[in-house]
Amino acid sequence: MKTTKTLTEGQRAYEAKRAAKAGMSLDKWLASKQRQVAAEEREKQKAVEATKPPKKPGLISRLLDRAHKPLK
């Protein structure tokens, strides 16, 4: 799932300046930005999964829990 976004001439020049300021080539700079975006997306996905309600116990688990409870 590699998405390559084509940059306009102005955007490319801007990113080239930022890459030069960071001491990187333009290709390295764009690759590092893409990795950073992917890492942020993974963090967001983890946060969404962490907020999901816990999964309901299965049939066997419920029967075992019931078997361990004392009779009334």
- Tell me whether residue 47 is in a domain: yes
Q: Does a structural domain hold residue 36?
A: yes
CB 54 within 8 A of CB 47: no
Full-model pTM: 0.57
In a domain, 52, yes or no: yes
Q: How far apart are the first and last CA of the chain?
A: 57
* Residue 60 neighbours by CB under 8 Å, 6+ apart: none
Count of domains forming the chain: 1
Does residue 18 sit within a domain?
yes
- For residue range 1-60, what is the model confidence (pLDDT) as tens digits? 455 578 899 999 999 999 999 999 999 999 999 999 999 999 999 988 888 888 888 999
| 26 in any annotated domain | yes
State the pLDDT at residue 1.
44
